[in-house]
């Protein structure tokens, strides 16, 4: 079983990377809220470690739940993947998911201060795993699947925001918490859409946004989302580091040019790779802004 676990995590959910993602997501939002509220007397301890682990564990839950949900479709379109190929068994994933989920629940219910938000997080994840009990409506409707499933990133953000506000007695209803709820949501939304935009020659029977609306309209839509996304990021860091604002603007200008090039000639490159690079640079700037502020203060 351990060997089959290693196959799954190597191909579908790289553990070192995803653990890092869990902690980066948690700490980025955590510190963004604190620093914008001028909170500098903070203590990073067990609760913050549990918070980062919870984000990782929940993302793993979503990954495995998606593989269960899409098993029949993947058996046809992606038969080489670990689960449909038979190299990993369903019971293997059920066992590892049960172990991690039980640990996560115990840690949150015993040590964290936002248990209700934690329970809502997993309740939303459970509904997603069941297609909100509307499988035959949602599975065949790509936009409806996006509307019902993609807000999960905002639910993750709210879990982090709630913990931070409760721990430091901060108001949960401010402009900063509003923007923080949206940050990382847009990158997830943009990535989800762009990975299903293809050049006309690359279209298959797999349903994509480009096959439904055309690659130009779909690309224009995520261009608009990208601009909105960068505005939320600027709103969160302009009081912390003005140079980071310029860095974000340069990054979004580059990505805008990539969108324009793709709309003119979709054959020249895959849009997904460019968006992943853009997102990596964007989140690196946000994280670096936090690190610099913690080290030397406002720049």
pTM of the entire structure?
A: 0.89
Collapsing DSSP to helix, strand or coil, 168 comes out as coil
What φ, ψ does residue 65 adopt, rounded to 5°? Answer: -60, -40
The pair of three-digit structure tokens given for residue 176, joined into one six-digit string:
């900063």
Let me know if residue 235 belongs to a domain: yes
Do the domain assignments include residue 252?
yes
Phi-psi region of 132 (alpha: psi -120 to 50; beta: other; left: phi over 0): left
Measured N-to-C along each axis, helices 115-129 and 90-111 cross at an angle, to the nearest 10 degrees, of 160
**Which tens digit of pLDDT belongs to each residue from 58-76?**
999 999 998 888 778 778 7
Q: What is the pLDDT of residues 210-259, one digit of tens each?
A: 888 998 999 999 999 999 999 999 999 988 999 999 999 999 999 999 99
- 28 plus 122 within the same structural domain: yes
Residues 104 and 191 in one domain: no
For the ranges 19-23, 34-38, 105-109, 263-267, the one whose mean pLDDT is highest:
105-109
131 and 59 part of one domain? yes
**pLDDT higher than threshold 70 for residue 19:** yes
Q: Residue 282 sits in which domain range?
A: 183-299
Shared domain check, 164 and 196: no
- As for how many domains the chain has, the answer is 2
> Which residue has 């499988």 as its token pair?
135
Percent of the chain predicted with pLDDT > 90: 53
Residues 155 and 197 in one domain: no
Q: How far is CA 43 from CA 4, 28, 30, 40, 206, in A?
A: 39, 15, 12, 9, 48
- CATH number, domain with residue 76: 1.10.357.140
- Residue 176: inside a domain: no
CA distance 50 to 8: 24
10 and 154 fall within a common domain: yes
Query: What is the C-alpha separation between 10 and 17, in angstroms, rounded?
Result: 10
Q: In the listed set 146, 170, 194, which residue is the last one of a domain according to the structure?
A: 170
Residue pair 96/2 in contact by the 8 Å Cβ criterion: no
Q: CA-to-CA distance for 215 and 208, rounded, in angstroms?
A: 9
Q: Which of 170, 200, 234 is the last residue of a domain?
A: 170
Q: Are residues 133 and 278 in the same domain?
A: no
């Amino acid at each position: 079983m351990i060997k089959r676990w290693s196959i799954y995590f190597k191909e579908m959910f790289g553990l070192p990377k995803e653990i890092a993602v869990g902690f980066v997501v948690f700490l980025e939002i955590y510190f963004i809220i604190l620093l914008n509220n001028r909170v500098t007397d903070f203590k990073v301890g067990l609760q913050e470690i549990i918070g980062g682990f919870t984000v990782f564990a929940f993302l793993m839950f979503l990954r495995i739940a998606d593989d269960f949900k899409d098993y029949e479709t993947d058996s046809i379109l992606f038969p080489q993947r670990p689960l449909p190929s038979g190299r990993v068994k369903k019971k293997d994933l059920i066992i590892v998911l049960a172990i991690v989920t039980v640990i996560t629940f115990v840690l949150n219910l015993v040590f964290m201060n936002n248990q209700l938000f934690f329970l809502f997080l997993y309740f939303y994840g459970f509904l997603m795993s069941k297609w909100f009990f509307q499988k035959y409506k949602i599975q065949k409707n790509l936009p409806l699947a996006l509307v019902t499933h993609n807000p999960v990133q905002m639910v993750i953000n709210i879990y982090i925001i709630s913990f931070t506000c409760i721990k430091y007695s901060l108001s949960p209803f401010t402009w900063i918490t509003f923007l923080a709820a949206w940050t990382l949501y847009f990158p997830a939304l943009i990535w989800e859409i762009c990975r299903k935009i293809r050049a006309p020659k690359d279209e298959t029977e797999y349903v994509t946004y480009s096959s439904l609306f055309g690659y130009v309209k779909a690309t224009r839509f995520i261009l608009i989302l990208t601009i909105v996304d960068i505005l939320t990021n600027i709103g969160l860091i302009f009081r912390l580091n003005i140079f980071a604002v310029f860095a974000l603007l340069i990054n979004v200008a580059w990505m805008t040019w990539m969108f324009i090039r793709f709309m003119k000639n979709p054959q020249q490159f895959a849009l997904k790779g460019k968006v992943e690079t853009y997102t990596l640079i964007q989140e690196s700037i946000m994280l670096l802004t936090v690190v610099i502020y913690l080290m030397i203060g406002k720049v």
